[in-house]
Amino acid sequence: MLDIKFVRENPETVKQNIRNKFQDEKLVLVDEVLKLDQENRDIKQEVEALRANRNKISKQIGALMAQGKKEEAEEVKKQVTQNASRIEELSEREKVVEEEIRKRMLVIPNIIDPSVPIGKDDSENVEVQRYGEPVVPDFEIPYHTDIMEKLNGIDMDSAGRVAGNGFYYLMGNIARLHSAVLSYARDFMIGRGFTYCIPPFMIRSNVVTGVMSFAEMDAMMYKIEGEDLYLIGTSEHSMIGKFIDQIVPEEKLPYTLTSYSPCFRKEKGAHGIEERGVYRIHQFEKQEMIVVCKPEDSMMWFDRLWQNTVDFFRTLDIPVRTLECCSGDLADLKVKSLDVEAWSPRQKKYFEVGSCSNLGDAQARRLRIRVNGKDGKKYLAHTLNNTVVAPPRMLIAFLENNLNADGSVRIPEALRPYMGGMEIIRP
């Protein structure tokens, strides 16, 4: 959410940002906000004048009563009553106007960083760099669920009977591999100086609207019936929510946290054949990283965060590339975003396994996360998040890149301590 003062002083900048995100239907919101903002300021000005007048009249009444001019004092009292009635009327209107402003401001997108490429959708995202050599072996690589089934590692039929589409049972060594990857990711991030955290897996609605847009909320979140609680779609939601209504001493920044959680997502919409199996599911587990920092440090942390994911995947011998998200592919709260994509030897292309986002002060403004500067002045923090790893989707890349011709799967050295020393998974 933008600062209303910024919108007031830079309406054309805000409108051009909307155009850059190809959301022209939102242009009208800027004019509506400006009109409502002017009304709101007029109301405050009139209320202030009425209160000043009320104080003046109160002194006048006291003087008249002291002079024994009771009738004149009673006439003046009527003005006080009229003023009070008008103040009450204006105060009620003020609440309505401020709520209307907030509703619109929550929908106006954040100002994107000047470095973000302008493009309509994800087809116009820009490759930045590749890490590792993509290899296509001289044998056929089966679909990932076929690999898992040959290793007795997945049961989607039973999951379908128990919970429906979008769920799975992981079994045996594949289930162990899943847990090993998460444990390794936890220790990897602790080794990089991040504090490990297990957050609440349910959050209240005021936290939901603080960390994401309404469109994302509708497409992702599961509501707990009869409760003001939602299942988290990623631990970023509850991790950023941890700082709601907090004034953080500047000397404690940055907060660098890595969190584990299950994640629950509706995943609305139709998906292609490559998204069957465990690619796009309603329940999965993830290791996340989040940073709360000073504004001037956020771009530095943005680069550190995505590099952590690249380094993690390279220790597992998985080639990856980084992809700069264009303006039209950015969620409304994001200032800048970069995807990490893993190589799929079967598809002979890369696919997303993580997303790094700088949200500027958007989440901090919504959740009122402030920093108490050394000079005593308070300002809004910047927040960032990035995926370390999200199996079982990551397992697709892992299995394809470590598959042998005989159907066995090699365990990279970094992961072996978490697999009891196992070097290979055999059918």
Q: Residue 50 maps to which CATH number?
A: 1.10.287.40
pLDDT value for 264? 95
Extended strands (E) in 12-118 = none
Claim to verify: residue 42 and residue 132 sit in the same structural domain = no
Give percent of the chain above pLDDT 70: 95
pLDDT beyond 60 at 272: no
Claim to verify: residue 127 and residue 92 sit in the same structural domain = no
Residue 91 in domain: yes
Residue 116 in domain: no
Q: Please identify, among 73, 105, 137, the residue that sits at the C-terminal boundary of a domain.
A: 105
Give percent of the chain above pLDDT 90: 83
pLDDT value for 273? 45
- The set of catalytic residues is 265, 280, 352, 355, 393
pLDDT value for 250? 97
Q: What is the mean pLDDT of residues 46-60?
A: 80
In sequence order, what DSSP letters do the residues of 233-281 get, joined into one string?
SSHHHHHHHTTTT-EEEGGGPPEEEEEEEEEE----S---GGGTTTTS-
pLDDT value for 274? 53
Report the distance separating Cα 69 and Cα 63, nearest Å.
9
Q: Which of 43-52, 145-154, 245-254 has the lowest mean pLDDT?
A: 43-52
Q: Please identify, among 80, 105, 130, the residue that sits at the C-terminal boundary of a domain.
A: 105
Q: What is the mean pLDDT of residues 308-314?
A: 98
pTM for the structure as a whole: 0.89
Amino acid found at 405: A
pLDDT tens column, 143-199 = 999 999 999 999 999 999 999 988 999 999 999 999 999 999 999 999 999 999 999
Residue 111 in domain: no
pLDDT value for 401? 97
Indicate the pLDDT class of residue 268, thresholds 50, 70 and 90: low
Report the distance separating Cα 321 and Cα 319, nearest Å.
7
pLDDT tens column, 85-121 = 888 999 999 999 999 999 999 999 999 999 999 999 9
Two tokens, residue 56:
């003046």
pLDDT value for 73? 66
pLDDT value for 64? 64
pLDDT value for 280? 84
Residue 174 in domain: yes
pLDDT beyond 50 at 270: no
pLDDT beyond 90 at 16: yes
Claim to verify: residue 96 and residue 151 sit in the same structural domain = no
pLDDT beyond 90 at 84: no
Report the distance separating Cα 261 and Cα 278, nearest Å.
17
Residue 355 in domain: yes
Claim to verify: residue 168 and residue 74 sit in the same structural domain = no
Q: Contacts for 279-282 with beta carbons within 8 Å, 24 or more apart? A: 279/144, 279/351, 279/393, 279/396, 280/166, 280/393, 281/166, 281/167, 281/168, 281/392, 282/163, 282/166, 282/167
Q: What is the mean pLDDT of residues 194-216?
A: 92
Q: What is the dihedral of CA 60, 65, 71, 77, to 10 degrees?
A: 40
Q: How far is CA 94 from CA 23, 102, 309, in A?
A: 29, 12, 47
Domain that holds residue 409: 122-425
Claim to verify: residue 81 and residue 131 sit in the same structural domain = no
Per-residue b or e along 72-110, where b marks 16 or more CB atoms closer than 10 Å to that residue's CB: ebeebeeeeeebeeebeebeeebeebeebbeebbbebbb
Amino acid found at 291: V
Report the distance separating Cα 62 and Cα 104, nearest Å.
46
Claim to verify: residue 69 and residue 174 sit in the same structural domain = no
SS3 158: helix
Of residues 311 and 281, more confidence is placed in 311
Report the distance separating Cα 114 and Cα 190, nearest Å.
33
Q: Across the chain, what does the average pLDDT equal? A: 93
Two tokens, residue 81:
């009553």
Report the distance separating Cα 67 and Cα 415, nearest Å.
92
pLDDT beyond 80 at 406: yes
Of residues 73 and 338, more confidence is placed in 338
Report the distance separating Cα 175 and Cα 166, nearest Å.
17
SS3 377: coil
Q: Please identify, among 105, 140, 175, the residue that sits at the C-terminal boundary of a domain.
A: 105
Q: What is the mean pLDDT of residues 124-139?
A: 96
Claim to verify: residue 58 and residue 200 sit in the same structural domain = no
Report the distance separating Cα 205 and Cα 11, nearest Å.
30
pLDDT beyond 50 at 236: yes
Residue 114 in domain: no
Claim to verify: residue 410 and residue 291 sit in the same structural domain = yes
Claim to verify: residue 195 and residue 53 sit in the same structural domain = no
pLDDT tens column, 280-303 = 889 999 999 999 999 999 999 999
Claim to verify: residue 57 and residue 142 sit in the same structural domain = no
pLDDT value for 143? 94
Burial class of residue 39, CB neighbours in 10 A (0-12, 13-18, 19+): middle
Residue 85 in domain: yes
Q: Residue 202 maps to which CATH number?
A: 3.30.930.10
Q: What is the mean pLDDT of residues 315-329?
A: 97
Claim to verify: residue 68 and residue 128 sit in the same structural domain = no
Residue 112 in domain: no
Q: What is the mean pLDDT of residues 38-60?
A: 86
Claim to verify: residue 186 and residue 90 sit in the same structural domain = no
CB-based contacts of 145, cutoff 8 Å, min separation 6: 154, 156, 276, 277, 278
The count of structural domains within the chain is 2
